[in-house]
Amino acid sequence: MYDKSKSKIELVKEIAEELPVAPNISYLLCDSWYVCGKLMEAFISKGFYTVGALKTNRIIYPFGVKMNIREFAKKISKDDSLFCIVTVKGRKYHIFRYEGNINGVENVVVLISYPVGALGKEKGLRAFISTNAALSTEEILELYVKIWDIEVFFRDSKSKLALDKYQIRSSKAIRRFWLIASLAHLIACSATDDFNFSKGYKIIKNKIYMEQIDFIFEFAKNGGDKSALLSMVA
């Protein structure tokens, strides 16, 4: 299914072009790999703003001066009064908000971020972008952290549902497998009150295990022998 004759950017751009126009304000959440003008324009044409991570070597134009985010962050981090403190999921960050252009896209918001206690430390530097300049700083960061739910979905699907281990080749078979894996994920989530996949998966796995034990116990109690049991599962 992965056409290696095309770049990831081209593949995602094709996905954007296939989308229906969003009926209300919607967002593409992505890591820094996919933050490029070509993709953001493709999604905005379908009603999707972009909120994503941004590489710190990206060029911005603060006060009309061209420099990359890392260079600019070094200059401003010497004065903490230029930053506001924002709390996201219980953690506090120094945030500088830049509104303007980056190469390929006009009128965006770029957030330059350091954890509180790490202001000016290069390892703590992070940058984020929103093509919806009307969003507050808190709204941008709260939207971005939702990407973690997407990452967890793929981690669970790979580690528990074999999403990265299937050995089928035809596109029809792969699509069918995706549907089955998605259904299995939904069933596991539905097994808990809080729609938690990991807990639901454990509940269902334990239930299947106990049913196997009960079956073997009843089979033996009714006179079944080991060879007959093994012939059933061979």
Per-residue pLDDT of 41-53, as tens digits, reads 999 999 999 999 9
The strand pairing partners of 111, in sequence order, are 97, 128
Decide: pTM greater than 0.75.
yes
pLDDT tens digits, one per residue of 134-168: 999 999 999 999 998 888 888 999 999 988 888 88
Residue ranges of alpha helices (H) inside 81-224 are: 137-144, 147-161, 171-190, 197-221
**In which residue are the tokens 């009064």 written?**
81
pLDDT at 227 over 90: no
pLDDT at 220 over 80: yes
> What length does the chain have?
234
**In which residue are the tokens 């069933």 written?**
187
* Per-residue tokens: 181: 């894996």
73 contacts 112 by C-beta, under 8 angstroms: yes
pLDDT tens digits, one per residue of 172-205: 998 899 899 999 999 999 999 999 999 999 999 9
102: three-class secondary structure by DSSP: strand
- Report CA-CA distances (Å) from 45 to 22, 106, 214: 10, 14, 57
